[in-house]
């Protein structure tokens, strides 16, 4: 057993643990709240606590599994692989360009859902500087660290075929599961698109920090622009959506191309390795199916409910 790598089966188990672990803890909290009306009765407190607990379960599933299997989690997910300054700067630029491009798309999706009779979920409430700091930690930093460890460090990493720079199949599958994990029609399109871009830069650099920086920058920009500009940035982008999206895509494509161009093939695609991957993929199917079906069920439940 390779202590410095994660297999597809490892990813399936961690994915299932994180999905069902979050559901179980949410159910326990609901029972406690039903029996004790004063427990987390404030909506804002409940929002913060739920967010923190969910992320801790996600990262706990990954770290706990690696400890049990005696794997070096930092090495396995690429946390020991650093980035160059130009890469960090481009990741921040890429995050802003993605936000500009996806804002009109997400608005169109949201309007369609509202038009279909759905009620939009309550977003992160940021009323003052204290809320902003807390939101940066709970809604930006924690998701970037915890979700990237599982969905890029485990899933995308293990799905990537040996002998490839950036495996398109690994990008699409890991991004689809990342999107489905949110279990909300409102958080489907944007997480999938962002997940694809994050997966590409992760595979191109083989550094977990590429995904963390891009993910964190995206969430941070949403929070900062919303708090500081009070919706003015969103209104500007939507009013000028066609040329803003054109400029954004003119930034996104060259930046992604540069990351891919600089990528290197790390693993060799010999027949023995590929055969072991096929066997491992079969063993992992039940875990991905269980977790994926549950996420899909919750997604449909949110759509109908």
Task: Give residue 124's pLDDT.
Answer: 73
Task: Give residue 2's pLDDT.
Answer: 66
Distance CA 46, CA 63 (A): 25
As for how many domains the chain has, the answer is 1
Task: Give residue 29's pLDDT.
Answer: 87
Evaluate if residue 159 carries a pLDDT over 70.
Answer: yes
Distance CA 155, CA 223 (A): 27
Report percent pLDDT > 70 for the chain.
Answer: 99
Evaluate if residue 125 carries a pLDDT over 80.
Answer: no
Strand ranges, E, within the chain: none
In a domain, 1, yes or no: no
What band does 36 get if pLDDT is binned at 50, 70 and 90?
confident
Give CA separation, 248 vs 6, 78, 95, 256, 275, in Å.
35, 29, 10, 12, 41
Each residue's pLDDT tens digit, 197-244: 999 999 999 999 999 999 999 999 999 999 999 899 999 999 999 999
Evaluate if residue 15 carries a pLDDT over 60.
Answer: yes
Evaluate if residue 113 carries a pLDDT over 80.
Answer: yes
Average pLDDT over residues 149-164: 94
Task: Give residue 135's pLDDT.
Answer: 94
In a domain, 137, yes or no: yes
Q: Of the given ranges (22-36, 97-111, 163-177, 201-215), which has the lowest mean pLDDT?
A: 22-36
Nearest to 98 by CA among 232, 174, 171, 198: 198
In a domain, 263, yes or no: yes
Task: Give residue 122's pLDDT.
Answer: 77
Reading the block at residue 275, the tokens are 């055969």
Find all residues with CB under 8 Å of 113, minimum gap 6, and list them: 120, 185, 186
Find all residues with CB under 8 Å of 245, minimum gap 6, and list them: 100, 101, 104
Task: Give residue 34's pLDDT.
Answer: 81
Find all residues with CB under 8 Å of 290, minimum gap 6, and list them: 16, 20
CB-based burial, 139-148: b 16+ in 10 Å, e otherwise: bbbbbbbbbb
Task: Give residue 245's pLDDT.
Answer: 98
Evaluate if residue 285 carries a pLDDT over 80.
Answer: yes
* 203 and 227 Cβ atoms separated by less than 8 Å: no
Each residue's pLDDT tens digit, 64-110: 999 999 999 999 999 999 999 999 999 999 999 999 999 999 999 99
Nearest to 159 by CA among 17, 57, 53, 151: 151
In a domain, 182, yes or no: yes
Whole-structure pTM value: 0.96
Average pLDDT over residues 126-132: 88
In a domain, 2, yes or no: no
Evaluate if residue 1 carries a pLDDT over 60.
Answer: no
Out of 46-50, 104-108, 118-122, give the one with best mean pLDDT. Answer: 104-108
In a domain, 77, yes or no: yes
In a domain, 3, yes or no: no
Domain coverage including residue 200: 8-304
What band does 287 get if pLDDT is binned at 50, 70 and 90?
very high
In a domain, 203, yes or no: yes
* 150 and 15 Cβ atoms separated by less than 8 Å: yes
């Amino acid at each position: 057993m390779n202590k410095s790598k994660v297999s597809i089966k490892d990813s399936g188990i961690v994915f299932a643990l994180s999905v069902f672990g979050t559901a179980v803890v949410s159910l326990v909290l609901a029972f406690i709240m039903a029996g004790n009306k004063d427990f987390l009765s404030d909506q804002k407190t409940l929002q913060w606590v739920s967010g923190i607990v969910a992320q801790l379960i996600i990262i706990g599933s990954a770290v706990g599994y690696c400890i049990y299997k005696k794997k070096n989690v930092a090495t396995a997910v690429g946390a020991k692989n650093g980035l160059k300054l130009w890469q960090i700067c481009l990741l921040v630029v890429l995050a802003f360009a993605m936000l500009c491009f996806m804002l009109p798309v997400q608005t169109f999706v949201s309007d369609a859902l509202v038009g279909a009779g759905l009620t939009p979920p309550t977003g992160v409430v940021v009323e003052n500087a204290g809320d902003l700091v807390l939101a940066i930690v709970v809604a930006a930093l924690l998701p970037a660290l915890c979700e990237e460890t599982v969905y890029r460090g485990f899933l995308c990493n293990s799905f990537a075929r040996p002998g490839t720079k950036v495996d398109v199949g690994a990008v699409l599958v890991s991004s689809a599961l990342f999107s489905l994990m949110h279990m909300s029609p409102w958080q489907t399109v944007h997480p999938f698109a962002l997940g694809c871009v994050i997966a590409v830069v992760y595979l191109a650099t083989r550094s977990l920090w590429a995904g963390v920086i891009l993910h964190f920058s995206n969430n941070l920009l949403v929070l900062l622009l919303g708090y500081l500009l009070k919706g003015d940035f969103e209104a500007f982008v939507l009013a000028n959506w066609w040329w803003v999206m054109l400029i954004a895509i003119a930034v996104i494509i060259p930046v992604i191309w540069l990351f891919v161009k600089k990528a290197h093939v790390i693993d060799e695609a010999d027949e023995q390795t590929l055969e072991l991957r096929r066997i491992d993929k079969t063993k992992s199917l039940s875990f991905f199916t269980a977790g994926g079906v549950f996420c899909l069920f919750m997604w449909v439940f949110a759509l109908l409910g």
